[in-house]
Amino acid sequence: MNPGSRWLCGLLLATSCVAALAGCAEPRPTFDAARAYANLTRQTQFGPRIPGTSAHEACLDWMRAELGSRGDTVIAQEFRGAVLGSPDSAQMTNLIVRFRPTAKHRILIGAHWDTRSFADNDPDSTNWRKPIDGANDGGSGVAILMELARAFDSIPPPMGIDLVFLDGEDMGGPGDLPGDWCQGSRYFSSHLTSRYEWGAILDMVGGKDLRLPYEGYSQKLAPEVVDRIWKAAEKLGETSFQRVRAEDVYDDHMPFLMRGIKVIDLIDFDYRWWHTIHDTADNCSAESLGTLGRVLLAVIYE
């Protein structure tokens, strides 16, 4: 074999190796934003999902039915919790959908599915005792998780993932921290059966004109997770993710961070309809849901 032939054979071998490696790249499922938005509107059709009400029970039955064919394991974690404005406790349920439950490397993606009993931030004081639809505050995170479950079912993720639908997040009073806020995540984090390498909580991520700065506690206590997700967003050209630090928010990520588990909060706390009767589906958008879904799939499958 002359030197020219040896060079040509080497080039062909290198090319075939690159092609083989490319063929073995992890396939990534798509995120259907329209279907996620349908999940959001379906929740609002039940009415306010306040623990102890028929709407809360009906929504739980719907989630169980939709998620029952997804994942490798679906677990209902029940506990008693306090209800805002009620002297009585109610049964609450964290729903956990597990993909690749035996995998050593695991992450957590969560959202709360309950809604607030009162619109106590409404500009009209006559609405302060009315419950809210919670299209964004509760509904948006759940909508994304349900579409992620479909995506993971179509193409299994490369690591173990738990999608956690948390109850009893929005039952606290103003300034009452932790009080009755984040009851589901506090219960779940104190009864862990898995070790999570990192995680993300989705809250109020479906509003129009989505803006996602760094949440303060997340940036202080889990900056590497924040950076990983923001880099993925930048690579996709998703401009809703902004590299500015916002205020500290006590949310469902805090019980995990307090236990040293790197779980961050993805939240648009500038949503103008927060805790008002106008937190409705028409103030949310499929585009915003798609932004989060695409970024999370990119992080997980790359």
In a domain, 2, yes or no: no
- Report the DSSP pairing between strands 212-214 and 241-245: parallel
Looking at the chain, how many residues does it have? 302
User: Can you spell out the DSSP letters for 22-48?
Assistant: HHTSPP-----HHHHHHHHHHHHHT--
Q: What pLDDT band is residue 302 in, cutting at 50, 70 and 90?
A: confident
Q: Which amino acid is at 69?
A: S
Which residues does 271 contact at the CB level (< 8 Å), separation at least 6?
A: 136, 137, 204, 207, 279
Mean of pLDDT over the chain: 92
Strand, helix or coil for residue 126: helix
Average the pLDDT over 252-275 and give the result. Answer: 98
Quick check: 256 and 266 in contact, CB under 8 A? no
In a domain, 246, yes or no: yes
> CATH number for the domain including 269?
3.40.630.10
**pLDDT tens digits, residue range 10-28?**
443 444 443 343 445 568 9
Quick check: 114 and 142 in contact, CB under 8 A? no
For the entire predicted model, the pTM comes to: 0.91
In a domain, 92, yes or no: yes
Residue whose token pair is 């439950």 = 101
Given this model, what pLDDT does residue 71 score? 84
In a domain, 138, yes or no: yes
Residue whose token pair is 């009851």 = 183
In a domain, 76, yes or no: yes
What is the gyration radius of the CA atoms in the chain, in angstroms?
A: 21
In a domain, 94, yes or no: yes
In a domain, 126, yes or no: yes
User: Can you spell out the DSSP letters for 48-82?
Assistant: ---TTSHHHHHHHHHHHHHHTTSSSEEEEEEEEEE
CA dihedral 144, 147, 153, 159 (to 10 degrees): -20
Residue whose token pair is 């706390």 = 269
**pLDDT tens digits, residue range 19-76?**
343 445 568 999 999 999 999 999 999 999 999 999 999 999 999 999 998 988 999 9
* Residue 287, domain extent: 27-301
**Domain tally, the chain:** 1
How far apart, in Å, do the first and last CA atoms of the chain sit? 41
In a domain, 48, yes or no: yes
Helix (H) / strand (E) element for 134: namely: none
**pLDDT tens digits, residue range 94-148?**
999 999 999 989 999 999 999 999 999 999 999 999 999 999 999 999 999 999 9
